[in-house]
Amino acid sequence: MRLAHITDLHVERTPKLADLLGKRALGAVNLYVLGRSHHFSRAVQEALPAAVLATNPDRILCTGDLTATATDAEFTAAKALLEPLRTLPFDCIPGNHDVYTDESVGRYARHFGDTSVRCIAAGPVALVLVDVCRPDWLSRGRATAADLVALDAALAGAGPCILGLHYPLRDRRGAPYGPAGRALENAAEVEAVIEKHLNILAILHGHEHHGYTTRIPGGPVIHNPGSSGYAFLPRQHRAAHFNVYEVDGTGIVGVERYAWTGERFEPEAGGAYASGG
């Protein structure tokens, strides 16, 4: 099976005045005054679906942050953008930017569907997906007690599987991911559940915009392609990426990483992660 993995598009549309409440007002300052909106590119985002389909995947996984501030306009735009990919089996979980404020909870589900912990048959393996994103004034996530119980049950019944979530568990050096203000608060509890199950072949995530691969010590390999919606800013070592994995019943047996060159997505020069970010 060929599994394409996209993440962190950050589709952004200028908010209405009525949208600028609470955290979203601070987000607007970050986007339009401090310049974070220039970190992402509509042209790159619009080129992404055709580039992904050109790699002939059997299935597509998106690990969140489809939007910048979770407005209706952004979700509508993200759904329209990704519609060509939904001709294939398309699985998605929200990111922290998709549940940006309390009033935006439920908006992701209305546009993209189920957010419960779930196990999906996917060819030679299962995909186990868990949403650990909550509205937060910082960028923290948390798996609830119910999430942990549901994750344990899903993994127990999955057979060989790949686990997908938005937040990293480990940084590029294999250490617990930080800083605390933008991490999964109870990552250690999630790892404790993972350690009980030897059937997890790989973990796929997003959130960190510069890609890397690592692993939980003694545990499964971890892949993060990096942001799939990044603007091309080579002096700042920024470019959009997505991954395609060759998967069989033993795990991920090959990784292709595609990078935006300023004009198109091409296989990363030197092989997956050769650029270091």
Token pair 């057979």 in the structure block, residue: 159
Look at residue 19 and tell me if it is in a domain: yes
Structure tokens at 160: 């060989």
- In the three-class reduction of DSSP (H, G, I as helix; E, B as strand; rest coil), residue 192 is classed as helix
Confidence class of residue 48 from pLDDT cuts 50, 70 and 90?
Answer: very high
Structure tokens at 13: 């549309």
Confidence class of residue 241 from pLDDT cuts 50, 70 and 90?
Answer: very high
Look at residue 78 and tell me if it is in a domain: yes
Residue 210 has pLDDT above 70, yes or no: yes
Q: What are phi and psi of 47, to 5 degrees?
A: -80, -20
Residue 249 has pLDDT above 60, yes or no: yes
Domain range for 47: 2-267
Residue 8 has pLDDT above 70, yes or no: yes
Which residues, 6 or more positions from 225, have their beta carbon under 8 angstroms from its beta carbon?
Answer: 5, 6, 7, 206, 211, 241, 242, 243, 257
- Provide the CATH number for the domain around residue 76: 3.60.21.10
- pLDDT score for 144: 96
Q: What is the pTM of this model?
A: 0.94
Look at residue 250 and tell me if it is in a domain: yes
Mean pLDDT computed over every residue of the chain? 92
Residue 146 has pLDDT above 90, yes or no: yes
- pLDDT score for 221: 97
Look at residue 39 and tell me if it is in a domain: yes
Contact in structure between 60 and 90 (CB atoms under 8 Å): yes
Residue 29 has pLDDT above 60, yes or no: no
% of the chain exceeding 70 in pLDDT: 91
pLDDT (mean) for 183-202: 97
Look at residue 193 and tell me if it is in a domain: yes
Residue 30 has pLDDT above 70, yes or no: no
Residue 185 has pLDDT above 50, yes or no: yes
- pLDDT score for 101: 84
- Name the domain count of the chain: 1
CA 111 and chain centroid, separation: 17
- pLDDT score for 34: 47
Q: What are phi and psi of 103, to 5 degrees?
A: -70, -15
Look at residue 63 and tell me if it is in a domain: yes
Residue 261 has pLDDT above 50, yes or no: yes
Look at residue 252 and tell me if it is in a domain: yes
Look at residue 275 and tell me if it is in a domain: no
- pLDDT per residue over 50-86, tens digit each? 999 999 999 999 999 999 999 999 999 999 999 999 9
